[in-house]
Structure 1
């Protein structure tokens, strides 16, 4: 069984804005980015496609396959009261406790990184224990990808933000027995 985990392409939003579960449109470059992604997925195999329901993932997922299974557990981090605010406009009094322990501290009316990791692990456990061993393409966001890779690579969650994940990044995993092997290269020197 093989899995390709893909981060959505570039969203249409200016830098410095806190967005997580806000349903953003894609930047005008999306068709070029879709083409680049498609060229990296072998077309000799069939894939079941699962995706975050947020538009920036759903558009790519539907481009890859007309039949997509959407799962809320693949959504990005819920930034609660901070959604669509400029990072610089969030008060230090509110931001600092989260910055000091983002793994365990919840964003006001949002979630903590451990909350995100828990729902992502639940999603992947369903795959691991499923009798269906069909190859998968999973289209999601940087947060869920980091949480999953931290688990596969045995990296503490607090260090997983050192994993660089560009828009349109693809991570290829292959299941061998009961373990997952990451085929894609990741620079772990900064972790």
Structure 2
């Protein structure tokens, strides 16, 4: 089993499509607060002092705090958020409705220009094998990892993202 936390709320994300290309900072106090929670979780469960994070600073900043406190820390690009291609970083209001409609009509297969489809994210998250018991990543990635069952998600069945600084525990072979 491993536990993954969603990074703290990033600065500058409001009203924007934020994926794996947009590298936003987090308040250092919030990164430190989450690192304290992860350190306490590891201590309570007797887990090794090691953590892996997405390389994006909103997750990696938590890993940097843990490293200061003696944790082995490394990043893994497989934990990055979904790549929304040319949408990434844009205000949602600037994305034409016709593009949203195309995405909703092919929710899993829609190829964001220059990015990845939800099918690709699902495959990446499902294939990932945790090298340790603690991780910090992103809401979309966690949803993809948690998706269960043979049915492909639809806009109506895709869950809301995990809250900022909240955790999800998964079996290593989760589908």
Query: Is TM more than 0.5 here?
Result: yes
**Per-residue deviation at 1:143?**
1.1
Q: Which residue of 2 aligns with 1:186?
A: none
Q: State the Cα RMSD in Å.
A: 2.6
Q: Which residue of 2 aligns with 1:23?
A: 23
Q: How many residues align?
A: 167
Provide the secondary structure at the position in 2 that maps to 1:107. coil
Cα 1:10–1:105, aligned 2, differ >3 Å: closer, same or farther?
Answer: same
**Per-residue deviation at 1:105?**
0.7
In structure 2, stretches of 5+ residues that fail to align are: none
In structure 1, stretches of 5+ residues that fail to align are: 128-133, 181-191
**Per-residue deviation at 1:14?**
4.2
Cα 1:47–1:171, aligned 2, differ >3 Å: closer, same or farther?
Answer: farther
- In the alignment, is residue 64 of structure 1 matched against residue 66 of structure 2? yes
Provide the secondary structure at the position in 1 that maps to 2:158. helix
**Per-residue deviation at 1:73?**
1.0
Instruction: Say whether the 8 Å CA contact 2:35–2:63 is kept in structure 1.
Output: no
1:20-52 CA distances to partner (integer Å, 9 max, x unpaired)? 021110136515642663365131321431111
Query: Please, what TM-score do these two structures have when normalized by structure 1?
Result: 0.75
Aligned match for 1:145, one of 142, 145, 162: 142
Instruction: Say whether the 8 Å CA contact 1:33–1:168 is kept in structure 2.
Output: no
